[in-house]
Structure 1
Amino acid sequence: MLTRPEDVDGHASTVVSPPYPPAGDGALLTWRESLTAPPIVRSRERRAGRDDAAAGGQPRRQTVSLIIPTLNEAENIPWVLERIPSIVDEVIIVDGHSSDDTVKVARAVRPDVVVVNQRFRGKGDAVRVALAAATSDLIVMIDADGSMEPSEIYRFVTPLMNGYDLVKGSRYLAGGGSEDLTLLRRLGNSVLVWMTNMMFLVRFTDLCYGFCSFRRDCVPALALTAHGFEIETELIVRALKADLRIAEVPSTELQRRRGTSNLRTFRDGQRVLRTLLRERIIRKPRPVVDPIDQRVLQEWRTVAGDVCLAQASGHPLEERSLL
């Protein structure tokens, strides 16, 4: 049940969400239809002038993009792609210079997947590239290693359709949990959650967990700049500073299916800590300074040459090829 502090009339109200759907295509389609009717009145959106109604006065179904940063996840990506519920309209994979067949395997499993090559390095850059490529109203972010259950996407979409701007997963809420938290990671996360709650006067139960969702029209307010795993913390803290409406939902973290994680506990923990301290002190977002990979420079040089040849021959190059 999602509790909302105000209604259009200024009175307290409660929006009751149906239970999460069971697995199966029939249940997914039924749930998908239920997300569009009846339309939910959102006072905040009405004040901002947003209109989700389609022609004829019928509620317009809000589309969903799923973004998946990948780096050498050829063994894990099929499991993730095969379990994506039908409510997702667009799947975007951002490949971080994988040396295996991640992209080839992803396209074989799901031919409609949109593949965007990462220009720099790090999860933060991958997320920013994916956000720029997403075209749907709502965006869900999930990892490619199989540690997050795609069927939980409904938990992250439903609050957005009930007036929230950003939804973050929590392994510590009732109904959530983790099969992969070591004692060291659990301790570090607890300390960082405590610091975040003290610094920003909030009551989060989890912080360093990348399963989240947000409205696409809220992305510019986040002004993301992080390069590594600290992007998850920066996203949440920037949402707080932008006065966005945030919800936590329970989520279960599974063990990574195969391979070795790119997360480094001490290194990335320090980067998260620096992000918290910086965001608490500095009000304005820092500028983005990207280290450009030499391989990317060579690719850009090739594309630039193709553009010049196309202009000289009078045949314009397709815009998509420039990405």
Structure 2
Amino acid sequence: MSSFVRPAATGQAQTAAVLAPDHFTPVSTHLAIAPLVSVVIPAMNEAENLPHVFATLPSWIHEVVLVDGNSTDDTVRVARELRPDVRIVAQTGKGKGDALIAGFTACTGEIIVMVDADGSADGSEIVSYVSALVAGADFAKGSRFANGGGTDDMTPIRKLGNRVLCAAVNAKFGARYTDLCYGYNAFWRHCLDKITLDCTGFEVETLMNIRVVTAGLKVQEIPSHEYVRIHGASNLRAVRDGLRVLKVILKEKNERRAARREGAR
């Protein structure tokens, strides 16, 4: 899996704009038209980081859905000041998975992009994700280890753990990922019907990566650069979260094996 951006040929942008439905919007020289794009940002006490996150988002996105995890700072106020049309979703449960599911449900766009609120993701990369989806992919998965990607915020132990877990998913599910534990992804909204999400924690990203493959969806990796969190401390814990991811991998493998046995009866 590799990244690609399909530039518009001479005259193509004008022709496409004439033929496109009204809900298609001009994006950039990289992509003549694009469906409505929703950006989901789970956030809890990220008021200091939101100005940096919002500043990198493309002007052509349809909506920003911020899922507030009961913040005790000014996260919601800052979000509304930065983008008056932001959609605020109050999270009623706990965990990143719960927040993302709530955000996905609130989205109205055809394409959904997942962006962290800590400033580690560059919103200007969204055009590459959208381009891959418009060109035929169902799920555009960010990778820090694909050619052109990188990371400024990964310890050796996290890098090793990610590599081992990624190899396990590739071996057990026939995937070809170069990066597993990275949450900068985008997908067509209809994919949610095929990858029912029932995970409330951080490991929801791994669950999505597994289920898009087992559902037979077309996956395209997008080189992405991860930056250091700008303000605050991360909640990630390498060993704890690694074990949770491993548990999801084993659970999905066991359930898939059981389903095959049931189907063979």
* TM-score bin (small chain): 0.7 to 0.9
CA distance in 1, matches of 2:77, 2:134: 34
- Cα offset for 1:37? 2.7
Per the alignment, residue 21 of structure 2 pairs with 54
Per the alignment, residue 241 of structure 1 pairs with 214
1:131 aligns with 2:104: yes
- Cα offset for 1:61? 4.6
So what's the TM-score if we normalise by structure 2? 0.86
Contact 1:2–1:16 (8 Å) recurs in 2? no
Per the alignment, residue 28 of structure 2 pairs with none
Runs of 4+ aligned structure 1 residues displaced above 2 Å come to: 33-39, 52-55
Per the alignment, residue 22 of structure 1 pairs with none
CA distance in 1, matches of 2:14, 2:71: 37
Paired positions, count: 246
- Cα offset for 1:163? 1.1
**Identity between Structure 1 and Structure 2 (%):** 47
Unaligned runs of at least 5 residues, structure 2: 23-31, 258-265
Aligned residue among 233, 241, 248 for 1:275: 248
Unaligned runs of at least 5 residues, structure 1: 4-14, 20-32, 40-51, 285-323
After superposition, the Cα gap between the structure-2 partners of 1:119 and 1:95, relative to the gap in structure 1 and judged at 3 Å, is: same
1:37 alignment partner AA: A
- Cα offset for 1:165? 0.6
Equivalences for 1:147-226 in 2 at 5 Å?
147-226=120-199
CA distance in 2, matches of 1:79, 1:261: 17
Contact 1:2–1:17 (8 Å) recurs in 2? no
After superposition, the Cα gap between the structure-2 partners of 1:106 and 1:242, relative to the gap in structure 1 and judged at 3 Å, is: same
* SS of alignment partner, residue 186 of structure 2: strand
CA distance in 1, matches of 2:122, 2:21: 32
- Cα offset for 1:124? 0.3
Equivalences for 1:1-323 in 2 at 5 Å?
17-18=6-7, 34=13, 37=16, 54=21, 61-283=34-256
CA distance in 2, matches of 1:252, 1:225: 29
After superposition, the Cα gap between the structure-2 partners of 1:185 and 1:221, relative to the gap in structure 1 and judged at 3 Å, is: same
So what's the TM-score if we normalise by structure 1? 0.71
After superposition, the Cα gap between the structure-2 partners of 1:247 and 1:60, relative to the gap in structure 1 and judged at 3 Å, is: closer
2:169 alignment partner AA: T
1:54 alignment partner AA: P
Contact 1:63–1:88 (8 Å) recurs in 2? yes
CA distance in 2, matches of 1:60, 1:183: 41
Alpha-carbon displacement from aligned partner over 1:195-232 (angstroms, at most 9, x marks no partner): 01110122210000000000001111110011111011
- Higher RCO, 1 vs 2 (CA within 8 Å, ≥6 residues apart): 2
Aligned-CA RMSD value? 2.6
- Cα offset for 1:263? 1.5
